[in-house]
Amino acid sequence: MSSTSRARLGEEVWKTRTDKINAELVTLTYGSVVAQLCKDLDGDYAEVNKQLDKMGYNIGLRLIEDFLAKSNMQQKCANFRDTADVISKVGFKMFLNITPTIANWSSDSKQFSLMFDENPLADFVELPDDGKAQAELWYSNMLCGVIRGALEMVQMQVDAHFVNDVLRGHDTTEMRISLVRYIDDEMPADDE
Amino acid sequence: MAGSTTSYYFVIIGTKDNPLYEAEFGTFKQGGDGVPKFREEQRHMNQFIAHSSLDCIEDLQWASKEMYLKTVDKFNNTWVSCFLTGGNIKFLLLHDARSDEPIRQFFTDVYDLYCKTLMNPFYEVNMAIRSQTFDQKIKAAAKKYL
Amino acid sequence: MNRDTSPFRPASTGASPTPKHASLTASTNLRYSLTRKSIYDRHLNRTKTSELSKSAFAFLFGEMVQHAQKKVYGVQDLEKKLNQHGYAVGQRFLELLLWREGRTAKRETRILGILQFISHSLYRAIFQKPADTLEKVRENEDEYMISDNDPLVNSYISVPKEMSQLNCAAFIAGIIEAVLDGHCFPAKVTAHTAPSDMWPGRTVFLIKFEPEVLEREGLRHGST
């Protein structure tokens, strides 16, 4: 499937097969989750990042089913570049109505970046002015976990983490995704 | 002759009668230079005048459904104008002449800035507002309308 | 300004990990992105009509419930946590909606007024539909009920089996409570499953006002 038809598929799923909801409710709910974690963990932002990633991972494991059903995608992605395309144009489009740009491919085609021009989770957000949050907190870290969990369900072990975030004062919001390996069907996922 | 000596004291008060933000402005109207001209003892009085107007507001807030309550109290030559948000946050402006409409416009801008502050998940109701951008925008609104 | 003799109570510094400043002076430590407008430079109506997928919310909410469940003692405690999340959301929607009404915005000063605001305007803004009923509890003069035949948070979220008593609409109860509190109508709001033949997920929000609210209503408007 070509990249353009992917984009069309994403649009179509969003327009015709997606029940929608007030975006502000999602944004504020996510905000409440992050703020509460920061409080519960007493400003240990490294741990907050970890928890957000974990929550996202749990979501990813379940979300893939919804994704496959709605997108009606039959065949597996041919390669990791293909996968990147689907994540951006169909996955993000379907759930968050955004299409992050794919950039910065590594020469071996195993690493790429998602560039977020928009990020509905971070609308209204300014990080705490405590001299720490802007250096340590990845506010939208749940998204990394979602990708990691969802791809694991389709036999791909990846590493996903943010490397830039406009909330930290950077000029871009960038998530780096690296393929670790394709998981063999015979082996249990946690067997390393 | 020097420009206008009209000065304003502005304070945002939380639901527990706690101040969340305060500022003083001079006027830019009638040749004013925007610098507040409060004498030291008046500065101190301002807080007390603002604080003592809270009782009046508590009565008025049940008599009117408006958010902008206009002038709610007067002490010597100082008027107190009030805007009350849905979440019971009070914007108080102390001024020495009545001018309802410009003050309404000023409060409207303040409400916009307050809502933006509140939408941030890391801000909680009744926290002091220390954002420098907020401060700059409030002062810009004062310059525009007062 | 001399804070020691100030007649005001000190501002709350909150429980969040921000430093406890002694005064109200502005801070300067944040770095701002050159490509992103500050929160103060973005229009509040920018997201007014934005939509996301319902399942994105369902996944987020479900995980929020799962996460909250880890550190609680029983269903009541969990519902309290959901209520708190809802409360934070409700506080923000309240001001946002009034701000959007502009010059015509009105504060509600009567019990019935604020309840109607909640079951119509607020409900419609958040859930794209009004609440299904608003009733007074006949036996108790301090109690009211708002019902929702099919609360969003129940139709998409599957509750873990060991938590069959749980009603996730405690989150919505928190939203309602925040709006009542904000308007100085302090009340306790709880969510109760009340299925009907047609609506198995039907939920009733029971609103019990603090005595001061009824006193004020009687005092100011001559009715009891």
Q: Tell me the pLDDT tens digit for each residue of C97-144.
A: 999 999 999 999 999 999 999 999 999 999 999 999 999 999 999 999
Of the candidate ranges A10-19, B9-18, B125-134, C26-35, the one whose mean pLDDT is the lowest:
C26-35
Res C219: pLDDT: 73
SS3 C197: coil
User: CB-based contact (8 Å) between C91 and chain A?
Assistant: no
pLDDT value of residue A185: 66
Sheet holding C187-193, edge to edge: C133-136, C143-148, C203-209, C187-193
Q: Which residues of C touch A120 (CB under 8 A)?
A: 47, 50, 52
Cross-chain Cβ contact A38/B131 below 8 Å: no
Instruction: Find the angle CA(C87)-CA(C91)-CA(C97) to the nearest 5 degrees.
Output: 135
**Tokens encoding A104:** 């910065």
What topology does CATH give the domain C54-221? Muramoyl-pentapeptide Carboxypeptidase; domain 2 (3.30.1380)
Residues of A in contact with C54 (CB under 8 A): 18-21
Question: Mean pLDDT across the stretch A151-168?
Answer: 96
**Chain Cα centroid distance, residue C139:** 26
In the numeric block, the tokens 């496959």 are attached to A68
User: Looking at domain A3-182, what is its CATH homologous superfamily?
Assistant: Trafficking protein particle complex subunit 3 (3.30.1380.20)
Is C170 a residue whose pLDDT tops 70?
yes
B chain contacts of residue C11, beta-carbon cutoff 8 Å: 14, 18-20, 126-128
The total of other beta-carbon atoms located within 10 Å of residue B15's CB is 17
Rounded to 5 degrees, φ, ψ at C148 are: -135, 115
Please name the member of A30, A38, A124 whose beta carbon is closest to the beta carbon of B120.
Answer: A124
d(CA C122, CA C148): 13
Alpha-carbon distance B117 to B126, whole Å? 11
Q: Is B135 in CB contact (< 8 Å) with chain A?
A: no
- In chain C, residues with a C-beta closer than 8 Å to the C-beta of A55 are 63-64, 66-67
The full set of domain ranges for chain A reads 3-182
Res A126 pLDDT > 50: yes
- Give yes or no for a contact between C105 and C98, defined as CB atoms under 8 angstroms apart: yes
| B7-145 fold | Beta-Lactamase (3.30.450)
| Residues of C in Cβ contact (< 8 Å) with B110 | none
Chain A adjacent subunits, 3+ CB pairs under 8 A: B, C
Rounded CA separation A170/A168 (Å): 6
Closest in C30, C35, C52 to A26, CB measured:
C52
Instruction: Report phi then psi at C93, rounded to 5.
Output: -60, -35
pLDDT, averaged across chain A? 93
The verdict on B131 touching C (C-beta cutoff 8 Å) is yes
Edge-first strand listing for the sheet containing B68-75: B19-26, B7-13, B90-95, B78-84, B68-75
Domain ranges of chain B: 7-145
B119 touches chain A (CB under 8 A): yes
Q: What is the pLDDT along chain B (146 residues), one digit of tens a residue?
A: 455 678 999 999 999 999 999 999 988 877 778 888 888 888 889 999 999 999 999 989 999 999 999 999 999 889 999 999 999 999 999 998 888 999 999 999 999 999 999 999 999 999 999 999 999 999 999 999 98
Decide if C85 and A170 are in contact by the 8 Å CB cutoff: no
From residue B118, alpha-carbon distances to A85, B96, C94, C173, C202 in Å are 37, 31, 11, 20, 32
What is residue B1's predicted lDDT score, i.e. its pLDDT?
Answer: 41
CA distance between the termini of chain C: 47
Q: Do B132 and C9 touch (CB under 8 A)?
A: no
Residues B69/B82, Cβ–Cβ less than 8 Å: yes
Supply the pLDDT for residue C70: 85
Task: Please give the structure tokens belonging to residue C96.
Answer: 């946002």
Of C175, C5, C144, C192, residue with least CA distance to B40: C5
Query: What per-residue confidence (pLDDT) applies to B6?
Result: 84
C122 contacts in chain B (CB < 8 Å): none
Rounded to whole angstroms, the Cα distance separating A96 from A59 reads 14
Q: What are phi and psi of A164, to 5 degrees?
A: -145, 150
Interchain contact C88–A (C-beta under 8 A): yes
Averaged pLDDT for residues C155-179: 85
Distance, in Å, from the CA atom of A113 to the CA atom of A160, rounded to the nearest integer, reads 9
Take residue A52 and report the two structure tokens written for it.
């957000």
The residue that leads in pLDDT, C199 or C6, is C199
| Higher local confidence (pLDDT), A167 or C5 | A167
Q: What is the pLDDT of residue C15?
A: 44
Indicate the pLDDT class of residue C19, thresholds 50, 70 and 90.
very low
Q: Do B120 and A32 touch (CB under 8 A)?
A: no
Percent of chain C residues past pLDDT 90, beyond the cut:
65
- Per the model's pLDDT, the better-predicted residue between C37 and A92 turns out to be A92
CA angle at C178 for the pair C181 and B80, rounded to the nearest 5°? 50
Q: Which two tokens stand for residue A177?
A: 């995704």
Residues 140-159 of C with CB under 8 A from A: 152
Q: How confident is the model at residue C27 (pLDDT cuts 50, 70, 90)?
A: low
| Position C73 confidence tier, pLDDT thresholds 50, 70, 90 | confident
pTM for this model (two decimals): 0.92
CB-based contact A126 B130, cutoff 8 Å? no
| pLDDT at position C11 over 90 | no
Q: Report chain A residues whose CB lies below 8 A from the CB of B116.
A: 124
CB atoms inside a 10 Å sphere around CB C201: 19
Query: How many whole angstroms separate alpha carbon C35 and alpha carbon A118?
Result: 11
Q: Which amino acid is at A144?
A: C
Distance CA C38, CA A147 (A): 28
Chain B: residue whose CA lies nearest to C178: B87
Backbone angles phi, psi at B133, to 5 degrees: -65, -45
- What's the average model confidence in pLDDT over A134-141? 97
CB contact under 8 A, C31 and A33: no
DSSP string spanning A59-79?
Answer: HHHHHHHHHHHHHT--SPPSS
- What does DSSP assign to residue A166? G
Q: What are the sequence ranges of the domains in chain C?
A: 54-221
Which site among B122, B124, B133 would you substitute to test the A interface, given the most A Cβ atoms closer than 10 Å to its Cβ?
B122
Report the distance separating Cα A133 and Cα C18, nearest Å. 9
Residue B8 pairs in a beta bridge with B25
